Structure 1
Amino acid sequence: MRLSNATWIASSLIAGSVAVAAWAWFMLPAGAGVPVNYLGLDGVRHHGVSRQALWLIPVISGLVATSMTFAPRFGMQREVERAGEVFDITLIAVAGLLLVVQVALVGRALDPDFNVMRPVAIATGVLLLAVGNYLGKARQNWFIGLKTPWTLADAGVWDKTHRFTGRGLFLGGLTLIVLGFAFHEAVVLGLAIGACTALPMLMGVARSRSLYRRLQHR
């Protein structure tokens, strides 16, 4: 079992999510809760609030942290070690992002006009900055990284692809933080989160194919 400093930091962030949920559970007025919007089995879209939804983020955070912590016990110790610092920073960054999401949802429950997407966009930008800064240090593994047929076929292609993708994620994170402060519209920020996260990854996939084909033609 991997009980590193990152595990304890992530656990503290998860405990923060639990504390926020517990505080909101007792402090929200009767009938208040997290806004929910879902398509029911009757084919009708339902809108409302749910007090139980306060516990969704802590549960998700706990599941993510537990699965990453216990991964080495399922024959992945070597893979986790090759992922190195990327493993640790991803664990912390994801737990931190989910804590921000939890606080934002509680803010929305307290104030219907609260803009959830701005803090979420900024926190996602910080996550991309952190992961992008360390991604190039990950060695070839099956646990964390851009696992394409080309990166898995050649360690050199893996290293160059992840350095390239890491720079893209870092720039995407910076862009997303700026946009999070500059814009208020939820749709714009939602699209920005998707674009700043997906584009560097897609470009990394294309880069890995290009590097491998170039290697084959030498």
Structure 2
Amino acid sequence: MRVTSATWIATLLVAACAAVAIAAWIGLPNGVPINYLGLDGHRHQENSRYAFGLIPLIAAFVTATLILAPTLGARRGVERAAKPFDMTVIGIAGLLLVVEVALVGRALDPAFNVMRPAAIATGVLLLGIGNYLGKARQNAVFGLRTPWTLADATVWDKTHRFAGRGMVLGGLVLMALGFLLHDGNALGVSIAVCAALPLLAAIVRSHSLYRTLQRG
């Protein structure tokens, strides 16, 4: 197992997420107000305590999977992208901790908008990963593994620098929108767009770069 400072930081964040969930489970027996569309076609509103435990379980599973990835025959690949990989591990654990705290805020105040801190935290995650993504070198584990980036190291490097800049821009925009917008649906769309658009643009960019190099 690849144990680094990022491993310990992510583990502490997951533990903090679990501690918040346990405290909320004990102290807030009514749970979190949720609104969902039932199989009967009608919207339902109820309180659920199980939402407190869901996020820590997701955080533990995702973090453990990322930490154990090098053990599953991918150690060399992770070492070639160590900084962005570590930032991803820490960032995801931190994001899920923020979501857990936001759920507690929602339980304390039904008017609390969970999507605002989630959007801001996702923006920080994109900013952090994007800042380091350009340092990822060609590997078979972490990064934008398109047929074109895997076929040419130059395409890989240029694509990841392009994607990193896009993620930084997307993160800054998303953080700003997290402060400016109040509608939960609009924030949800903003998170999806700001997270997906830089990656989709980078995939297209990798194809374009590869074709240009082939012509040259």
- The answer to whether the superposition gives a TM-score over 0.5 is yes
Paired residue for 1:94? 92
- 2:160 maps to 1:162: yes
Distance 2:100 2:159 in 1: 34
Count of matched residue pairs? 216
Alignment equivalent of 2:105, drawn from 104, 107, 124: 107
Counterpart-to-counterpart distance in 2, 1:181 and 1:39: 28
Letter in 2 for 1:189: L
Moved more, 90-99 or 137-146: 137-146
One-letter amino acid matched to 2:188: G
- Pairwise CA distance, 1:165: 0.5
Equivalent in the alignment of 1:27:
27
Residue 207 of structure 1: which of 192, 197, 205 is its match? 205
Q: What is the letter of the counterpart of residue 160 of structure 1?
A: K
Alignment partner, residue 121 of structure 1: 119
Which position in structure 1 is the counterpart of 2:11?
Answer: 11
Q: How far apart are 1:38 and its partner, in Å?
A: 4.8
**Could you say what secondary structure the match of 1:48 adopts?**
strand
Q: TM-score, normalised by structure 1?
A: 0.94
- 1:182 is displaced (CA, Å) by 1.2
1:103-141 per-position Cα deviation (integer Å, ceiling 9, x unaligned)? 001111111000111111100000000000000000112
Q: How many angstroms apart in 1 are the aligned matches of 2:95 and 2:60?
A: 13
Residues 179-190 of structure 1 mapped to structure 2, 5 A cutoff: 179-190=177-188
Match of 1:142 in 2: 140
Greater alpha carbon shift after TM alignment, 126-135 vs 38-47: 38-47
Shift of the alpha carbon at 1:42?
6.3
The one-letter code sitting in structure 1 at the alignment partner of 2:191 is I
Distance in 1 of aligned mates of 2:38 and 2:183: 27
Other-structure match for 2:77: 79
Name the CA shift for 1:38/1:113 in 2 (closer, same or farther; >3 Å).
closer
CA RMSD of aligned residues (A): 1.5
- Structure 1 residue runs of 5 or longer lacking an equivalent are none
Q: 1:37 to 1:209 in 2, by over 3 A?
A: same
Report the TM-score, using the length of structure 2 for normalisation.
0.95
Please list the CA deviations of residues 148-192 of structure 1 after superposition, one character each: whole Å capped at 9, or x if unmatched.
Answer: 111111111000000001000001101111111111111121111
